[in-house]
Amino acid sequence: MVYLCSNCGADFPKWNGQCPACHEWGTLSEFKIKKRSGNRPDREKRTATALSSLLNTIATERISSRIGEVDRVLGGGLLQGSLILLGGSPGIGKSTLALQIVANVDQPVLYVSAEESGEQIALRARRIGLKTGSMHISGENQIENILDEISILKTSLVVIDSIQTVFSNDIDSLPGSVSQIRECGQQLLQACKQSGVTVIIIGHVTKDGTIAGPKMLEHMVDTVLYLDGDDRYDQRILRSVKNRFGATNEVGIFRMEANGMQPVENPSELFLAERTDGISGSAIYPALEGSRPILLEVQALVSAANFGTPQRNVNGIDYRRLAMLLAVLERRQGLVLGTRDVFVNLVGGLKVSDPAADLAVVSAVASGTLDKIIQSSTALVGEVGLAGEVRSVSQLEKRIIEAQALGFKDLIAPQGSVHRLNSVPKKIKVHGVNSVKEVFEILF
Ligand code: TYD
Ligand code: MG
């Protein structure tokens, strides 16, 4: 008998109100786990290997998915023998994307889906226009049988859609339960490391994390990808939050269309497509998603509060950050916001946590409050401090290049970062500033 944490998957011999490993409350529950026999290695047998002898045998071969956005997020393609977790909320497009990734690979592929029938998957593949030559579909949901099938078919790439539907006979709890997910994850990990098969595990995650599971697989797998997006929009963002073999925080941007997930090569154009000129309360900000610059529009609407407590409504940026920025505007710039409702929206359903967005947020709010328009060819970047000072941001060069490429004429940026630029950009005028006050003098 053990107690398993549904949040991190750690196990303990005794029950605790708080998980000693991840400090979540009320996540431990009791499970029966069957001891595997013959687990203990023979004392006489050596299991250590000389590190140098492994150098020749390491799999460094990457399999290209032929989808640039995916390959970049993975750090150059699927690494042979790696275990990849693809998480996301139900209906966001995980199955579609996984199918597109494996269909382009010239290797025997096994797509295991207990969620959908083979016909449904075939229909989807036809709708997207995928070639399915080297692909096998299986509706099996017992992990031991799946592993047999992998070795019989000699597949080198496997998709498990989804981890919540597979189960092991060794454990008597329902598929999707914490102990099943952990056991199946471990068996797949073993298969990866022993036979060099590459496995993509799909896992459903809900926004509030109510479906137990995928989170605790995170520490077991090599790469964790999350497919994100607002289901009211068709933009989808693939993020790597963990990658043992590449950079994290890289993103790939897609649109969910009738014929599958379409990579978006120029996201800035997508996010600025519906921008209306000549309206107050709009500011453009060159964001960085991973190594990639994307221009985003921040919109603010400020109106007289009709009821007692003024509303603060925010989409896409942190609520507390907004509260701080509004306080700076009140105290340092003398803007009266205490009696007004403030709505701030990052257009396109994206979320940013980069403080470099601050300057665009305060400018959009000020523009909305004063009802003065910010020139549509001006972009703003900078972190705002409590004294109303504008602080340096990372990778200004990249942001400048992107703004320049989209025809922006002026970029307002922290003086501290402008000083560090190696060259003066030609097609865009970069205004170095030290305080929000200076910014407003330029803008309004
Ligand atoms: P799906 O890949 O099944 O999501 P998940 O596996 O994450 O649950 O995709 C679900 C949604 O995507 C569904 O509402 C239909 C839509 N869709 C498209 O818009 N275009 C397509 O080509 C496909 C296959 C699906
Ligand atoms: Mg699915």
CA of 165 from ligand 1 middle (Å) equals 18
Q: Whose CA is nearest to atom 13 of ligand 1?
A: 91
**How far is Cα of residue 169 from the mean position of the Cα atoms in its chain?**
33
Q: Using a 6 Å cutoff on CB, does residue 258 contact ligand 1?
A: yes
In angstroms, the first-to-last Cα distance of the chain is 68
The answer to whether residue 210 scores a pLDDT higher than 60 is no
State residue 36's pLDDT score.
Answer: 55
**Could you please report the per-residue DSSP string of 242-301?**
EETTS-SS-EEEEEEETTEEEE-S-HHHHHHTT--SS-TTEEEEEEEETTEEEEEEEEEE
Ligand lying nearest the CA atom of residue 125: 1
The answer to whether residue 59 scores a pLDDT higher than 60 is no
The answer to whether residue 221 scores a pLDDT higher than 80 is yes
Taking only the tens place, the pLDDT of each residue in 223-237 is: 999 998 877 778 898
Residues 6+ apart with CB under 8 A from 425: 400, 401, 404
Q: Whose CA is nearest to atom 9 of ligand 1?
A: 93
**How far is Cα of residue 219 from the mean position of the Cα atoms in its chain?**
16
State residue 99's pLDDT score.
Answer: 94
Average pLDDT score over residue span 335-356: 89
| Arithmetic mean of pLDDT over the chain | 88
State residue 176's pLDDT score.
Answer: 84
Q: Residue 35's pLDDT band (boundaries 50, 70, 90)? A: low
Q: Residue 431's pLDDT band (boundaries 50, 70, 90)? A: very high
CA of 209 from ligand 1 middle (Å) equals 21
State residue 105's pLDDT score.
Answer: 87
Q: Using a 6 Å cutoff on CB, does residue 88 contact ligand 1?
A: yes
* Amino acid symbol at 283: A
- How far is it, in rounded angstroms, from Cα 123 to Cα 68? 25
Q: Using a 6 Å cutoff on CB, does residue 90 contact ligand 1?
A: yes
Average pLDDT score over residue span 337-365: 91
Q: Using a 6 Å cutoff on CB, does residue 95 contact ligand 1?
A: yes
- Higher-pLDDT residue of 246 and 194 is 194
CA distances from 260 to 19, 137, 254, 266, 382 (A): 41, 19, 9, 18, 37
The answer to whether residue 63 scores a pLDDT higher than 90 is no
Q: Using a 6 Å cutoff on CB, does residue 256 contact ligand 1?
A: yes
Range 270-443 classified under CATH 3.20.20.70: no
CA of 203 from ligand 2 middle (Å) equals 9
Q: Using a 6 Å cutoff on CB, does residue 417 contact ligand 1?
A: no
Taking only the tens place, the pLDDT of each residue in 320-344 is: 999 999 999 999 999 999 899 999 9
Residues 6+ apart with CB under 8 A from 149: 110, 112, 138, 140
- Higher-pLDDT residue of 302 and 5 is 302
Instruction: Note the CATH architecture for domain 62-264.
Output: 3-Layer(aba) Sandwich (3.40)
State residue 373's pLDDT score.
Answer: 94
* Global pTM value: 0.78
Q: 259 is written with which tokens?
A: 């014929």
